[in-house]
């Protein structure tokens, strides 16, 4: 049962300023390489061999190009997803067209699992920000499988609880810290903290980082200039951190 459908639907003007072309994406059974990747994903890797195999068997992988929409708010939540490659941006849209990023999901991260037992459809939008491969699971099938193998629910508790804690971190970050502090905090998290000098390569554009931190791109840029005073040097996506301790003390 392979869907192959490359038909381009008619363009839809999406209210803002972008002509959106929604493409039916290829949904394919997974390659062996992708399966190997998927087995390592936190949520999947907790399952027993038997159940893990059943999950892999029902997974289909999908390829997206930058700016492709994966799903939209209020659409029925028939699938949840796991990123194999690339980055997926989850965001809310305000009536006036403004966007607020909720989360930025990289390889190995799962999204929309929180809708598995929920009604009312997705509660945010998801779009690929790069050439991206995601795997999707049909919620009805997963629910049926969880009926038989309760370890799925246990793994989900861990997964969703971790996402809740991340979301809480993000909220507290927004409410307690200024732009330079948020950036410093992000850098510290990214440079795995043995007090040594470190250099980091951002895995995505600065605009995306800005969104993730709840900032306008200009504010991120200014935050970086501020941090220059604390020994942070930026060259494109390459960031040098002289002294992590100096950042921690902001």
Does position 237 bind a second copy by CB under 8 A?
no
Site string for a second copy, 172-211 (x = CB under 8 A): x-xxxx----------------------------------
Closer residue to DNA (CB): 167 or 225: 225
Residue 164: name its binding partner from a second copy, DNA, none (Cβ under 5 to 8 Å by kind): a second copy
Residue 206: name its binding partner from a second copy, DNA, none (Cβ under 5 to 8 Å by kind): DNA
**Beta strands 19-20 and 12-13, pairing class:** antiparallel
Does position 131 bind DNA by CB under 7 A?
no
Does position 178 bind DNA by CB under 7 A?
yes
φ, ψ of residue 205 to 5 degrees: the values are -70, 160
| C-alpha angle 42-45-47 in degrees, rounded to nearest 5 | 120
DSSP string across 155-195: HHHHHHHHHHHHHHHHHHHHHH--HHHHHHHHHHHHT--SS
For residue 64, the minimal CB distance to DNA (Å) is 15
Site string for DNA, 138-177 (x = CB under 7 A): ---------------------------------------x
Binding test (CB under 7 A) with DNA, winner from 166, 216, 233, 238: 216
At 221, is the secondary structure helix, strand, or coil?
helix
Give contact residues for DNA (rule: CB under 7 A): 98, 177-180, 182, 205-207, 214-225, 234, 236-237
In the complex, the residues that contact a second copy under the rule CB under 8 A are: 92, 94, 98, 100-102, 113-118, 123-124, 146, 150, 153-154, 156-158, 160-165, 167-172, 174-177, 214
């Amino acid at each position: 049962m392979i869907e192959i459908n490359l038909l381009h639907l008619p363009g839809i003007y999406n209210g803002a300023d972008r002509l959106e072309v929604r493409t039916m994406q290829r949904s394919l059974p997974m390659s062996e390489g992708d399966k190997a990747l998927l087995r390592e994903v936190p949520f999947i890797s907790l399952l027993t061999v038997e159940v893990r195999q059943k999950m892999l068997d029902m997974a289909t992988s999908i390829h997206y190009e930058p700016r492709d929409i994966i799903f939209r708010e209020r659409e029925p939540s028939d699938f949840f997803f796991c990123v194999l490659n690339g980055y997926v941006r989850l965001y809310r849209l305000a009536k006036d067209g403004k966007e607020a990023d909720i989360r930025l999901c990289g390889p190995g991260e799962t999204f929309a699992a929180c809708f598995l037992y929920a009604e009312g459809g997705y509660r945010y939008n998801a779009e690929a920000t790069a050439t991206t491969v995601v795997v999707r699971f049909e919620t009805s099938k997963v629910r049926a499988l969880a009926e038989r193998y309760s370890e799925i629910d246990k793994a989900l508790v861990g997964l969703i609880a971790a996402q809740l804690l991340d979301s809480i971190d993000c909220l507290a970050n927004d409410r307690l810290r200024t732009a330079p502090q948020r950036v410093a905090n992000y850098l510290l998290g990214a440079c795995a903290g043995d007090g040594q000098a470190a250099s980091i390569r951002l895995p995505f554009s600065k605009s995306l980082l800005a969104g993730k931190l709840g900032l306008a791109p200009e504010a991120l840029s200014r935050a970086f200039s501020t941090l220059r005073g604390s020994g942070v040097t930026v060259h494109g996506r390459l960031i040098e951190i002289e002294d992590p301790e100096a950042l921690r003390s902001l």
